[in-house]
Chain A
């Protein structure tokens, strides 16, 4: 059982939903990323999505683009990011880590080399934003051979036939993009998200995470009522951007924001009924 599967199984036993924060590795400084990852776990993160900085993150909004630019000032490379995960694992063997990024840095390292090193660093899953499954053929085989979960996006524009195919290629979890747009944009329509999540679940037993547009405790709670995982990125990155030079304020604010989401998700009025597994 993969670390991601184990984590979702444990959450299901407790009747809780996963909280999945995203930060860009190397932002605001490579030396702070591992400590921030531990902070995220301390504030209630179940899985960490660690962004690999890229110079041209075309599917991300201005907030994450700026995070990439701050990380790239320090030349944070894919190799560095793998090193950060290794370091994180020295103190945390339980929390799954998913690398999220773009294809070009992986190509330059070589997909096989990347997969090998990712496995050695105990990365759990890979989400390559600009690699739809049609282009992923060989990479998919390589990731599977190295026991890396392959996570794909499903968008509001994805056709039903494609949803089925994406579900077949996915492992670990499925990432539903809750709105038309880039990361950090717009306004959530929870009932639309709910019907799309249900549609995805007809084709897959995998947990479905929802991201793009989760900005506060309330929206986290709303998404938790219809999905298995709540993915939050830009809202956290905004705190980093606002406190680049004040590390302690940055940590405090990020942990407060995340803890608020955790609490709202766990105590939310729309918490679904979960059968008691011990009975």
Chain B
């Protein structure tokens, strides 16, 4: 691969969607019960109005700077790069944001929308707890009531985040239906919203759900890619050769990828959770193994059985443990712009330890999936090439999980 010039793309090929119905090709849309159509219309209208409102945008930018702590650094991982003797590896440090992950970019944006729409109550679903914490955080700051739905199994896996949300004044509601993980929390949050549509703003944490959420969340997260593009240009004077990010619902990945989609020479890799291996059915890799279907308000790739029932997923990381994926990723897969791969629990754990020891950064288990793939990728690349890996969150929340696996009692 030749070194790419940091130019501005001439043609918008991959950044024109969704269409007026919220479709990315055959994916996305609005597959919800009738009660939610009107509130979704209201949200779409409010967003259409505010996304070009200079006052709204200025407030969003000011919050990102002074509250979230942006821009997050683009860190050159020198020892990691040298150790693997491939491409130069840069880590986009979303773990250094307030609350420790990229999730806050989106909750700050949606909270500003909620405030302008006159809503008094925030609800959210959460898997790893990062989005729940980020939602509880912005609710506390704006003095809004906050209810977070979380699968009982995830509450066990992520107990410190549960306490964190409660400290912030949020009510955390355990979800005991289905597999007791993120998908069931999403069902419960949708039910709450249907019941309290007038007072309540539902902050969805990922680029899934009914239109306009996949677009809204994407737009609030693209700050990641815009910053990374400028930062790499300043640091190395080039565009990256490859981008790598983990994909559960896919918000950190789309946030990094989107500003580069029309840069034809930038290769992109979305990494799903391979769990115990994609051949075992114990994984969370719908783009690698699933089929298109309808869940949680949008058409996308799903993990389902032969009767169309959604199957239980597995991943070492709660944040990737989801049977669907954002519809824009489904489209980017089908048009071949982004390559979706998977890495196993074990490979992610190895990467987790390596980055911790070699760079002094404890990455989230979610982000460890991206790093694990980047380390495979770099072996096939040369030293004049560059990779940006999205380090979407910090790993402090995962130390109990890692210790448990290694038989260490804390």
Contacts and interface: CB of A to CB of B under 8 A. Distances in A.
Contacts of A55: 178, 309-310
B30 A56 contact: no
Interface stretch (B188-196, B228-236, B401-409): B188-196
Contacts of A58: 32-33, 186-187, 190-191, 296
Interface in A171-216: 177, 180-182, 185-186
Interface in A38-72: 53-59, 61-62, 65-66, 69, 72
B178 A158 contact: no
A54 B371 CA distance: 36
Given A61-B191, A104-B310, A108-B307, A155 B33 contact: yes
B302 interface: yes
A162 B183 contact: no
Contacts of A185: 195
Central interface residue in B36, B186, B190, B294, by most chain A CB within 10 Å: B294
Contact of A157 (B29, B30, B37, B178): B37
A180 B38 contact: no
A118 interface: no
A8 interface: no
Given A78-B308, A157-B197, A130 B294 contact: yes
A56 B183 contact: yes
A135 B191 contact: no
Contacts of A69: 177-178
Contact of A108 (B37, B190, B293): B293
Nearest to A156: B35
Nearest to B189: A58
A177 B186 CA distance: 22
Given A107-B294, A181-B194, A72 B309 contact: yes
A154 B34 contact: yes
B295 interface: yes
Nearest to A59: B33
A182 B195 contact: yes
A105 interface: yes
A104 B29 contact: no
Contacts of B31: 103, 130-132, 135
A79 interface: yes
A105 B183 CA distance: 17
Contact of B34 (A57, A108, A132): A132
Nearest to B21: A134
B309 A155 contact: no
Contacts of A62: 177
Of the four ranges (under 10, 10 to 19, 20 to 34, 35 or more), the interface on chain B belongs to 35 or more
A43 B135 CA distance: 50
Contact of A130 (B41, B178, B183, B297): B297
Nearest to B39: A157
A106 B308 contact: yes
A61 B194 CA distance: 11
A162 B310 CA distance: 31
B281 to A, nearest CB: 15
Contacts, number: 128
Interface in B1-36: 21, 29-36
Interface string B176-187: 011000011011
The prevalent SS among residues of A at the interface is loop
A185 to B, nearest CB: 6
B294 A103 contact: yes
A158 B295 CA distance: 22
A105 B307 contact: yes
B34 A104 contact: no
B304 interface: yes
A129 interface: yes
Contacts of A143: none
A135 B292 CA distance: 15
Residue of B31, B32, B293 with most partner-chain A CB within 10 A: B31
A39 B210 CA distance: 39
Interface string B365-392: 0000000000000000000000000000
Interface string A94-119: 00000000111111110000000000
Q: Which of B194, B196, B306 has the most A CB atoms < 10 Å from its CB?
A: B194
Contacts of A157: 34-39, 197
A121 interface: no
A61 B195 CA distance: 10
A186 B195 CA distance: 9
B95 to A, nearest CB: 31
Contacts of B33: 58-59, 129-130, 153, 155, 177
Contacts of B184: 56
B303 to A, nearest CB: 11
Contacts of B35: 59, 153, 155-157, 177, 180-181
Given A56-B183, A182-B191, A109 B34 contact: no
Nearest to B31: A130
B34 A152 contact: yes
B36 to A, nearest CB: 8
Given A65-B177, A104-B295, A180-B195, A79 B307 contact: yes
Contacts of A79: 307
Contacts of A54: 308-309
A104 B195 contact: no
A75 interface: yes
- Count chain B CB atoms within 10 A of each CB in A53, A57, A107, A157 and give the residue with the most: A157
B295 A108 contact: no
Contact of A104 (B183, B186, B196, B304): B304
A33 B184 CA distance: 27
Contacts of A77: 307
Given A56-B178, A180-B194, A180-B197, A158 B309 contact: no
Given A69-B178, A108-B293, A180-B197, 13 more contacts: A56-B187, A56-B296, A58-B191, A65-B187, A78-B307, A108-B307, A130-B33, A132-B31, A135-B29, A135-B30, A155-B33, A180-B195, A186-B195
In the A-B complex, the 4 residue pairs with the smallest Cβ-Cβ separation, listed nearest first, are: A108-B308, A105-B308, A59-B33, A155-B35
15 contacts: A56-B295, A104-B293, A104-B304, A108-B291, A108-B293, A108-B308, A129-B33, A130-B32, A130-B33, A131-B31, A135-B30, A155-B34, A157-B35, A185-B195, A186-B195
